[in-house]
A = this chain, B = another copy of it.
Amino acid sequence: MIEQLRRYVPVLDWGRSYDRKAFSNDMIAAVIVTIMLIPQSLAYALLAGLPPEAGIYASIAPIVLYAIFGTSRALAVGPVAVVSLLTASAIGQVAEQGTAGYAVAALTLAFLSGGFLVLMGVFRLGFLANFLSHPVIAGFITASGLLIATSQLKHILGVSAHGHTLPEMLGSIYAHLGDVNVITVVIGVTATAFLFWVRKNLKPTLRRLGASPLLADILTKAGPVAAVVVTTLSVWAFGLDESGVKIVGAVPQSLPPLTLPGLSPDLVGALLVPAILISVIGFVESVSVAQTLAAKKRQRIDPDQELIGLGAANLGAAFTGGYPVTGGFARSVVNFDAGAETPAAGAFTAVGLAFAAVALTPLVYYLPNATLAATIIVAVLSLVDLSILKKTWGYSRADFIAVAATIFLTLGFGVEVGVASGVAISILLHLYKTSRPHVAEVGLVPGTQHFRNIHRHVVETDPAVLTLRVDESLYFVNARFLEDLVQSRVTEGCAIRDVVLMFSAVNEVDFSALESLEAINHRLRDMGVRLHLSEVKGPVMDRLKRSHFIEEMGGRVFLSQFDAWHSLSGRPAAAE
């Protein structure tokens, strides 16, 4: 019972051994992460089309809930770029941005997403996330990064534009080019350039100037804060908002409010599929990060418990004015590098952000949207990695096609179409690959008990015995292929009296394949040829024995191919 509870509530496990040293390490990590998260949370809320405080609220309760239910010690949960984009795309279809309905839909999305994740976790369905192949994820993240960066151009230019695909966004920006606000452009471009410089050069420069590594690190992480402070002060001092620079404006000064997601059947119906998509993509991203970090300390994470942790975090977001969240790559790495030892670091971050929500929000009144857009652009362009195209091209054309299609369709038709097509294409390509399995005709390597492909090696064969090694599990997609192959091979070789199928690499024979084997057997019998099997694996043999196939088979099942050869070829085996 206690064990059971501890499995579902990991805090009971690590909490017992929490000590002063872990506390101090966690505190330092929390300070660094909090500094990084304040501007990032505001920015991602902007990306999701929500009021800025939603980003901060989404970082408080979810972090605490993940600290209780999650299994990763370093994962930092909150709004992330890709999920924010998916949120904007999903909610944009049911409500107008800026309306109360829009914010409620965000809560509903978080609620559905959280519920779905918890259900997946309770039923231990984490493996379903594997249907997203690595190339599809890489392609999707890259394309999303490009989409997100493009979506922020309007804030840098100070124009209104809309759209969820690359052509829509670019077209809309082009149509509004006449409205460009020059001061906004100056702020946006300067902030972007500054943030790129900070990211690339500040740390080495500070180290050269003699700063301690910790200080250099904190100052680098504080780069976005500096951009925020400087641009906010500029707008305030010169009254730039009156010259058309769009600013964040009034942000309520409060702890996260208690909110209720809308649960009308229409709203739930419209958001269910996007919620599932967000859950799966968020989960995959989060689990990859968590596993990578856990491995560095020879720790383990439990993917099914991660579902529960992330689900709890999203449910938390739904009831505290947030929107869908997940474990973010950048923030988690920062947390880990800063020395976070336990999920308590996350809880301390939450306290820091709660303080910000109460005390600091009036200070961002004059913060220009262009600065937040710059923060987002710099963050997401690091996600863009087109090298996946080159890597998959070199390794496997099928994987290349999946990546290229995912990138193209995401950019051209939006995130939902992109990721759904990516999954469908990678499944179809996999089925296609296994639909024509490699089947080698093998013969005996003289002087050994080994059998090798007759086209690659000098081997002994017998015109009356045809031995085919099947290099693939047999199931419905390739069952008929084997039927055709055997039939064509046997009609060519008139001397053939025995056919041996060597099953050393056959890991499964499904019912369709069983029927194909039966068909092969009957047809061979009609031709006066016997069918034999060799090297059948235990689990496959167990299953075949449940049918009548083995009894009805004309020939025998040989434990080894050498036995089969020895018994059928009728000549003294070379190895004896």
Q: Which residues of A contact B (CB under 8 A)?
A: 127, 129-136, 287, 291-292, 294-296, 298-300, 303, 391-392, 394-396, 398-399, 426-427, 430-438, 456, 471-473, 475-481, 483-484, 487-488, 490-491, 504-505, 507-508, 510-512, 514-516, 519, 522-523, 526-527, 537-539, 543, 546-547
Given A292-B519, A507-B472, the answer on whether A480 and B391 have CB atoms closer than 8 Å is no
- B300 close to A488 (CB less than 8 A): yes
Contact of A130 among B294, B430, B435, B546 (CB under 8 A): B435
Given A292-B519, A527-B295, the answer on whether A127 and B435 have CB atoms closer than 8 Å is yes
- B134 close to A512 (CB less than 8 A): yes
Chain B residues near A480 (CB-CB < 8 A): 127, 129-130, 287, 303
- A539 close to B130 (CB less than 8 A): no
Chain B residues near A543 (CB-CB < 8 A): 395-396
Chain B residues near A130 (CB-CB < 8 A): 435, 476-481
29 contacts between A and B (CB under 8 A): A127-B432, A127-B480, A131-B476, A133-B476, A133-B512, A134-B476, A134-B512, A134-B515, A136-B476, A291-B483, A295-B526, A299-B491, A300-B488, A303-B484, A392-B511, A394-B546, A396-B543, A399-B511, A399-B512, A427-B431, A430-B476, A430-B477, A434-B508, A437-B507, A438-B507, A471-B507, A471-B537, A473-B507, A505-B537
Distance between Cα atoms of A88 and B483 in the complex (Å): 33
Chain B residues near A514 (CB-CB < 8 A): 395
Distance between Cα atoms of A395 and B456 in the complex (Å): 37
Residue from the set A134, A292, A516 with the largest chain B CB neighbour count within 10 Å? A134
Chain B residues near A299 (CB-CB < 8 A): 491
Q: Tell me how far the C-beta of A486 lies from the nearest C-beta in chain B, rounded to whole angstroms.
A: 10
Chain B residues near A476 (CB-CB < 8 A): 130-136, 426, 430
- B295 close to A487 (CB less than 8 A): yes
Closest to A548 in B: B391
Chain B residues near A394 (CB-CB < 8 A): 546-547
Residue from the set A299, A300, A490, A537 with the largest chain B CB neighbour count within 10 Å? A300
Contact of A134 among B134, B456, B508, B511 (CB under 8 A): B511
Contact of A430 among B287, B398, B426, B475 (CB under 8 A): B475
Given A396-B543, A430-B475, A507-B505, the answer on whether A295 and B481 have CB atoms closer than 8 Å is no
- B471 close to A472 (CB less than 8 A): no
Distance between Cα atoms of A523 and B477 in the complex (Å): 36
Chain B residues near A136 (CB-CB < 8 A): 476
Chain B residues near A135 (CB-CB < 8 A): 476, 511-512
Q: Is the interface of A mostly helix, strand, loop or mixed?
A: helix
Closest to A402 in B: B511
Distance between Cα atoms of A507 and B470 in the complex (Å): 10
Distance between Cα atoms of A547 and B387 in the complex (Å): 13
- A510 close to B399 (CB less than 8 A): yes
Closest to A539 in B: B438
Residue from the set A127, A292, A391, A523 with the largest chain B CB neighbour count within 10 Å? A127
20 other A-B residue contacts (CB within 8 Å) besides A298-B491, A473-B507: A130-B480, A134-B515, A135-B511, A135-B512, A298-B490, A298-B526, A300-B491, A303-B480, A395-B547, A396-B510, A396-B511, A398-B510, A430-B476, A430-B477, A430-B510, A434-B473, A437-B507, A471-B537, A505-B507, A505-B537
- B134 close to A479 (CB less than 8 A): yes
Distance between Cα atoms of A437 and B438 in the complex (Å): 20
Distance between Cα atoms of A478 and B508 in the complex (Å): 15
Distance between Cα atoms of A74 and B269 in the complex (Å): 53
Distance between Cα atoms of A295 and B476 in the complex (Å): 20
- B430 close to A295 (CB less than 8 A): no
Chain B residues near A392 (CB-CB < 8 A): 511
Distance between Cα atoms of A125 and B317 in the complex (Å): 49
Q: Tell me how far the C-beta of A447 lies from the nearest C-beta in chain B, rounded to whole angstroms.
A: 16
Contact of A296 among B292, B435, B438, B526 (CB under 8 A): B526
Q: Tell me how far the C-beta of A478 lies from the nearest C-beta in chain B, rounded to whole angstroms.
A: 7
Chain B residues near A294 (CB-CB < 8 A): 487
Distance between Cα atoms of A177 and B132 in the complex (Å): 53
Chain B residues near A133 (CB-CB < 8 A): 475-477, 510-512
Q: Tell me how far the C-beta of A177 lies from the nearest C-beta in chain B, rounded to whole angstroms.
A: 37
Distance between Cα atoms of A438 and B506 in the complex (Å): 12
Q: Tell me how far the C-beta of A5 lies from the nearest C-beta in chain B, rounded to whole angstroms.
A: 21
Contact of A395 among B129, B287, B292, B511 (CB under 8 A): B511
Q: Tell me how far the C-beta of A523 lies from the nearest C-beta in chain B, rounded to whole angstroms.
A: 3
Chain B residues near A491 (CB-CB < 8 A): 298-300
Chain B residues near A508 (CB-CB < 8 A): 433-434
Distance between Cα atoms of A475 and B428 in the complex (Å): 13
Chain B residues near A391 (CB-CB < 8 A): 511, 547
Distance between Cα atoms of A514 and B133 in the complex (Å): 11
